[in-house]
Copies of this chain bind each other. A is one copy, B any other.
């Protein structure tokens, strides 16, 4: 993809900086006639919204979305999409007035400060500017639109690892995900994480995490080999999220350790007469095309680089210095990445649904 646009037929363009007046997205290519209210989008933004537990940043943002175009009442008075671009806008309201002197002149290790400066020669350093995780609100908003056009598909994400503490897959319970502040499908792991993150948080440190997103109800046939593969676009989508360093489909990196007998998912005919795969190492994708199994994607989020420990770095003039990143930060930014991962899954699937329908006609 290119620059700040993602997608081919269903296209999302985002704009905005962390401490500018607003952020937003233009969603283009949405089919017409689909019911879309601000509330449909707001529900997902509220999942991502900061300040909802002590484990996320204390920045307070209403994250109230406005739809500025692309919708209109249909004959029954219900607001629906018109097929024209949908402009979504979220005001920034809690850009705390503060002294940015430190990060203005010095590069925070692990942040994009250095690389943005190297590329552009200038950066909006306030809160990370364009490279801030705040941009992911635009993704979540666009993802909410994407979900509306693939109604038969159920997309759910969960946090499955924080630091070295993994969930127990035997305990997986989707209903549990919204019962704890971690989107954990395993209540026991959630308890361990709470203890662990309290320590991390109080010490001013941070830690990484792994998210798993699963899409059920994707029919066989979506994807566009060889350079628009469904899993390729998922990898692209997830790696485009801030702080993501790895992406896996199905067996993922672990596929390296399997033999052909272990890996290849055998097929039978289910009671419903449809193909029934006996395992899902493929993660629902073979040859870049969906198989009808659940599409399973995982990604790893690195620890927030804003920590209280003093770190060695350099300043813009090339002098060695040290830096401590104060401010309101997520001890584990991976938590809030769950709804973001769901949104990107929705965007990729919506795009491939339209592309498939275009080429194949069903």
Contacts and interface: CB of A to CB of B under 8 A. Distances in A.
A256 interface: yes
Interface stretch (A51-59, A180-188, A218-226): A218-226
A123 interface: yes
Interface in A247-274: 247-269, 273
A39 B80 CA distance: 36
Given A112-B288, A221-B115, A236-B235, A2 B302 contact: no
Contact of A13 (B26, B82, B313): B26
B320 A14 contact: no
A68 B15 contact: yes
B115 A291 contact: yes
Contact of A235 (B87, B235, B263, B291): B235
Nearest to A240: B232
Interface stretch (A40-48, A69-77, A171-179): A69-77
A82 B129 contact: yes
Protomer copies: 4
Contact of A123 (B23, B82, B265, B357): B82
A307 B261 contact: yes
Nearest to A222: B119
A260 B304 contact: yes
A201 B341 CA distance: 39
A2 B228 contact: yes
Contact of A32 (B108, B122, B278, B355): B122
A267 B109 contact: yes
Contact of A4 (B28, B108, B112, B285): B28
19 contacts: A4-B226, A14-B85, A14-B226, A83-B119, A83-B120, A83-B359, A112-B225, A119-B221, A164-B257, A200-B259, A206-B259, A235-B238, A236-B236, A246-B253, A260-B305, A261-B311, A267-B313, A269-B319, A355-B358
Contacts of A294: none
